[in-house]
Amino acid sequence: MTLEIIVLAAGQGTRMKSHLPKVLHPVGGKPMLMHVLDSAASLSPEKIHVVTGFRSEEIQNSVAHYAPDYLSTIAWVHQEKQLGTGHAVMQAMPAVNPNAHCLILYGDVPLVDRQVLSAIAKLDASLVLLTSKPEDCEGMGRILRDEENRVTGIIEQKDASDAQKQIEEINTGIMMCKGRDLSNWLNHLGNNNSQGEYYLTDVVEMAVFDQKPVEAVVAADSARFAGVNSKLDLATAERTYQKSQAVELMNGGVTLLDPDRIDIRGNASFGQDCCVDVNVILEGEVSIGSGVVIEPNCIIRNSQIGDYTRILANTLIEDAVVGQRCQIGPFARLRPDTKLLDEVRIGNFVEIKNSEFGNSSKANHLAYVGDSSVGSNVNIGAGVITCNYDGANKHKTTIGDDVFVGSDSQLVAPVTIESGATIGAGATITKNVQKNDLAISRAKQVAIKNWERPKKK
């Protein structure tokens, strides 16, 4: 059986009150449409027809950015005017194989459970409809059934009578038909309804009229098939998604002190025996070793954290590689291209950018280290700054092994401090410091005896 998938993504999504096409609004840091395409691709269809209309180019660029691999399976379909979901599917039909099973997905139903989809894709009815029974049915199409509980049609909320609005089973939007049947039904679609739109949902009544076998599958987990029409729906989808990721992490052995207070916007992997406190955000590709502790309010983006490292509260780590048994934070900031080897300690209000630290080196308080190479066993005192920028260009600071940089020193790059050297507190270092030397640069202290402070006149 050949499977082709049609994804509807042409609408603007007026209820989102945004310039961004609705299907590009992110859930878990990724456009809703990408979630749908990931699910579609997981079924290995022959083709994925994506119907776009409102800002098509933006949507195509977004897909090319997030999933260039999909482009070869995608057939783009343009729907000039958004005249309804039925009209959208009609635009795709000329390119659909009449003998294929044709699964329709909505770009604004992002969290579909792939197991349910693949079960549906295997059914052999003329029309398979996926329904659900959410607590709140507001705005959704309701499923009409006869006395024998057979599906007879779908009524949109805007066209429903008060009695029909009481129906608790809704249309998720997901439907599968044989290509030839679908084309036939769509050719007879009208728009005589309260919105003047060509409703895809009307094909159900036609299938029933044609006495074709219609099968309705009720999804157990309605949250996974919730449509997103408003910012409130988007927030609800985000929570559903985050909760499912948190559950997955816990199933994998990660301790989450509160599964409702972790957000993963990308892919995060963990080793064994990790513990994550509340309000932690992991973005992009994050790989965390074993025995790692992450304290509250940390953000880790596109980074790797080695085994048994502790990330203390309120730390921001971005595009960095952190070794094993390090301690970072509280209130530390590792900026892009930071590489810390093992047992490094970075303390509060320390910022590091494009720099490497060797084993067991420390910068425990209030420092800025940028464009630097720091050896092992180096101690960077409080208030040390690498002056890496002259207003036009960036310059490098090189610090050898076992160097001690006294507090409140400035290292004016380009500059090299050779191994074993000591920088006295308060120094402004503009020249290279040789191996094992002590460099001091400070005015001699003078004492003025019995100094009288000025008095207020």
Between the alpha carbon of residue 243 and those of residues 75, 111, 134, 262, 381, the distances in Å are 33, 12, 17, 8, 42
Residue 449, burial from CB neighbour count under 10 angstroms (0-12, 13-18, 19+): exposed
424 neighbors 442 (Cβ within 8 angstroms): yes
Write 363-372 long-range contacts (CB < 8 A, 24+): 369/397, 370/394, 370/397, 371/395, 371/396, 371/397, 371/413, 372/396, 372/397, 372/398, 372/399, 372/413
Q: Which amino acid is at 292?
A: V
Stretch that binds ligand UD1, among 4-12, 209-217, 264-272, 374-382 (CB under 6 A): 4-12
Residue 328-367 contact track with ligand UD1, rule CB under 6 A, x = bound = ----------------------------------------
227 binds Ca ion (CB under 5 A): yes
* CA nearest to 295, candidates 262, 337, 267: 262
- Residue 53 CB, nearest approach to Ca ion (Å): 15
87 is catalytic: no
Residues 16-75, interacting with ligand UD1 (CB under 6 A): 22-23, 51
Stretch that binds ligand UD1, among 92-100, 144-152, 193-201, 376-384 (CB under 6 A): 193-201
222 binds ligand UD1 (CB under 6 A): no
Q: Copy the structure tokens of residue 339.
A: 């590489």
Residue 132-161 contact track with ligand UD1, rule CB under 6 A, x = bound = --------xx------------x-x-----
381 binds ligand UD1 (CB under 6 A): no
170 binds ligand UD1 (CB under 6 A): yes
213 neighbors 118 (Cβ within 8 angstroms): no
Residues 84-113, interacting with ligand UD1 (CB under 6 A): 84-85, 87-88, 106-109
- Residue 154 CB, nearest approach to ligand UD1 (Å): 6
Binding partner at 88 among ligand UD1, Ca ion, none, C-beta below 5 to 8 Å by kind: ligand UD1
262 binds ligand UD1 (CB under 6 A): no
291 neighbors 307 (Cβ within 8 angstroms): yes
Burial 399-418 (b: 16+ CB within 10 A, else e): bbbbbbbbbbbbbbbebbbb
Active site positions, annotated: 365
Q: Which residues bind ligand UD1 (CB under 6 A)?
A: 8-11, 22-23, 51, 79, 82-85, 87-88, 106-109, 140-141, 154, 156, 170-173, 199-201, 227, 229
Q: Which residues bind Ca ion (CB under 5 A)?
A: 108, 227, 229
